[in-house]
Amino acid sequence: MNRTLLLCLALAALILLPAQPGSAADAGPTAIDGPAGQLSTRLFLPLLRGGSGIVPPPPPATGGFFLIPTPDIELPTSHPTLAVDAMGGVHVAFTPESATQENPTRPAYYAYCPANCSGPEAFTRLHLGDGVEFASLALTPTGQPRLLLRKRAQSAYLFQFWQCDSNCTSLAQWHSGDVGAAYARPVGWVEEFIHAFALDNQGRPRFVYYDNGADYEDPHWGAFYAYCNADCTTAANWQETRLLDDTDAGEFDLAFGPNGQPRLAWTTSNSETITQQLVYAECEQNCHLVVNWSAIVVADTVSASVTHWAVFDLATASTGKPRLALYTGTGVGGSLAANSLYYLACDAAECAADQAWSALRLLPATQGEDGVALALDGQNRPRIAYHAPLAAGFGLFYAWCNANDCATATQGWQAQEMEASEEIDAELPIPPWPGCAFPQCNPPVPPCTMSFWDGGVRPALALDAGGHPRIAYDADHRQGGGCGTFTDAKLTRFIQFGQP
């Protein structure tokens, strides 16, 4: 089956209908900037600075473990997203790293623990869909889970929406529908899709995706904002707005303010300055019209000698104002210090405006490489889960600030290692790979002299009503030494602890 026919079949079940002028979708106060049909972007060089009566729930017992009991390294999993409902129930979605002989259908995993999540046996796990690359999870205001799955079929992406309103540990209570399709970018482009999906303040699903088009004559290409207001497992109820025609835009992160105003961050490449840029966009009302969106380049990141690209996570305060955790990447160049963890904040009337943002350097030396996650507690105080590689602590770390000036001063920030990679080594040791001699392998592969877990990779962070963290993350197993360094397994872990 050729890719054009494949996409046509997918779109036959789903047509993302264009929004109609005057739609009530995504309403709120007014944004300025941006001619119709094009999202305006303005360069911003951030200001750098150094360095209720309700009884909250008690802190959970501290513990970390693999989400699948007695994990099998032949069944790899990765890229979790998670949320905590008002009752303290933990919802996690994650996906197989690839199809295997033992797991050929590659479903998404949905795991739920109502309380006392002290081990994998506390979670009920379901398989949703098949052929899933990424699964993104969010909860409605009343705690009902919603998932968006991105599936791959040859050169196309298929988007599938899942929802459950009650008794969600029963597969029969889940309902789904194919709601979108897009052409994938060329081979070699890695585009994760775990933060591009979110729910607005009414629990209505929205996501951002990029369609590469069938060919140069295909008019449907660029970055699209897709939204649905009711009966969202039905394809015809989805509409979309084309936001960008930037061929380098990707790694979208979507969040919402308290009145349903969308906030969006993504990375792109500037061919003139040869830099990777972090861009922020917002809309206050009538967001089906691109003229009501405005955007700004928040920071340039590393541009040369890159070994690890920038990673970031977006959150919104109760005021609707954006916050970003940013690891700037390993390399040189950029408007921020390379190889560092930053906290960026905006409280201006317009956050897509010059000099609206502050950027505070929290930690240098690769802290945040391969993963950062940001959450705000009930008082809008920032908490960041991040990965530290072998040279910088090696494991899952957690940083927090309880001061009034968390965006402008490092004195109020603290950090602590929450799970060392060595703890995972002790829990699930894997011997070094013995290599492969000639003639079984030609050329021969030398034996490995090192074998170790690297914890804290690609973390996802959520807080309960008392501000206590729940974190899901990937542990990547590395083989190295004489055989060179490579990853031979990925398994998803979960950890909870009381807020330090």
Highest averaged pLDDT of the listed ranges 46-55, 184-193, 275-284: 275-284
φ, ψ dihedrals at 15, nearest 5°: -130, 115
Cis peptide before 439, with omega less than 30 degrees from 0?
Answer: yes
Q: DSSP state, 193?
A: -
DSSP state of 58: P
As a whole number of angstroms, the distance between CA 244 and CA 264 comes to 12
Q: Which pLDDT tens digit goes with each residue over 183-204? A: 998 766 667 889 999 999 999 9
Cis peptide before 443 (omega within 30 of 0): yes
Q: Could you give the C-alpha distances from 270 to 243, 276, 302, in angstroms and in order?
A: 18, 6, 12
Tell me, rounded to whole angstroms, the distance of Cα 280 from its chain centroid: 15
pLDDT computed for residue 35 by the predictor: 31
**Residue-wise pLDDT tens digits, 441-499:** 888 889 999 999 999 999 999 999 999 999 999 999 999 988 888 898 899 999 999 99
| Site of tokens 């950062």 | 372
pLDDT, tens only, 382-405: 999 999 988 788 999 999 999 999
- Band (pLDDT 50/70/90 cuts) for residue 302 is confident
Question: What is the distance between the alpha carbons of residues 145 and 99, in angstroms, rounded to a whole number?
Answer: 25
Q: Which of 336, 328, 456 is nearest to 399 (CA)?
A: 456
Residue with the two structure tokens 């190889």: 339
Report the predicted TM-score, pTM, of the whole model to 2 decimal places.
0.88
Taking residues 341-361, report their average pLDDT: 94
Query: What token pair was written down for 116?
Result: 């006392």
d(CA 463, CA 407): 20
- Residue 279 CB coordination number (10 Å): 21
How far apart are the C-alpha atoms of 454 and 478, rounded to whole Å? 7
Give residue 100's pLDDT.
62
Distance, CA of 351 to CA of 328 (rounded, Å): 20
Q: Around Cβ 172, how many Cβ atoms within 10 Å?
A: 7
Spatial contact of 6 and 153, defined as CB atoms under 8 Å apart: yes
The residue type found at 478 is R
What does the pLDDT average to over 40-63? 52
Is there a contact between 305 and 313 (Cβ–Cβ < 8 Å)?
no
Beta carbons within 8 Å of 191's beta carbon, 6+ residues apart: 185, 210, 250, 251
Percent of the chain with pLDDT over 90: 65
Q: Order of strands across the sheet with 41-43?
A: 41-43, 293-300, 275-283, 262-270, 250-256
What amino acid occupies position 326? Answer: L
What is the distance in angstroms between the CA of the first residue and the CA of the last residue of the chain? 55
Instruction: Give the Cα separation of 488 and 26 in Å (integer).
Output: 44
